[in-house]
Amino acid sequence: MAEIRGTTADEFEQVAEVFEANFEDHGEVGAGFAAYLDGEKVVDLTGGIADSSGNPYDSQVLQMVFSTTKGATAMCAHLLVERGELDLDTPVAQYWPEFATNDKADIPVRWVLSHRSGLIDTDEPLTLEQALDWDTVTTALAASTPAWTPGTAHGYHAITFGWLVGEIVRRVSGVGIGEFFAAEFADPLGLEFWIGLPDDQRSRVASLIPMGGTLAGEDPPPMMAAEEGDGSTNAPSHLIEMLETFLGPDNLAAKALTAPGGAFARASRCGTNRVCVRHRSLRPTV
């Protein structure tokens, strides 16, 4: 039985019961949950383990938050709007001149923030190492053609959103998105939230478990087995296979999820804590 730690206000005791049931009935491994009411913390719970060594999933554990970082990145852009340094209806190319190629010269900042630019991937295939380099990816995005006529449709920019908005923030502010977020939000508010995790914080990051994997057992899950170099496939690859089965090859959903340039569809070992955190540090956050 998982150890549950923390407290709840009296009227929120049922939250603790549901939290514990998630471990007992649904196979939760490690989790944390907090809730505030009128500025007061009324729920503060952690439970389970953070890795295969059995270290507790407690208040010191850092968790990758994936696409939640889109919100943090958008906050940075909107702060620049609030200050009058960025205009939502101005073409991206005014701030990022290289962007004005292949029918993208008139795309306003607003369309990038609202997933209407059509730039869900790069035209150029990229390796995993290339995808881990900010300038390589932004250069490739600037040279790419939208997957649909910009402004005519919405489509989730699952991976490219961070580079697109982050580069706009960098061009306007003069600093990278991670540095900007830290200076304007994380540091002033005392948040342990990074876009680009510092090396000295890596040991605090909870292990990732792919779909169908576990932290224990004879067969290590791909996200951990990759550290041994055994060539295990990762969860994103399985997801892409499923999408192609149902939606056909070259569907836009698979294209968006394996951006940039298909790097994460071809990578068989994108699963160690080190690689995944580095990968995510370019756009998402721990």
Catalytic residues: 67
Please state, in angstroms and rounded to a whole number, the distance separating the CA atoms of residues 168 and 173. 8
Parallel, antiparallel or unpaired: strands 40-48 and 4-8: antiparallel
- CA distance linking residue 241 with residue 69, whole number of Å: 26
Number of neighbouring beta carbons within 10 Å of residue 130: 16
Q: Residues 29, 48: contact at Cβ < 8 Å?
A: yes
Structure tokens at 223: 């996200």
Helices and strands: H and E segment counts in the chain? 14, 3
Which residue has tokens 């932004």? 138
Collapse the DSSP code of 143 into the 3-class scheme (helix H, G, I; strand E, B; otherwise coil) and give the result: coil
Encode 226-250: b = buried (16+ Cβ within 10 Å), e = exposed.
beeeeebbbbbbebbeebeeeeeee
Residue (of 52, 55, 36) closest to 44 by Cα position: 36
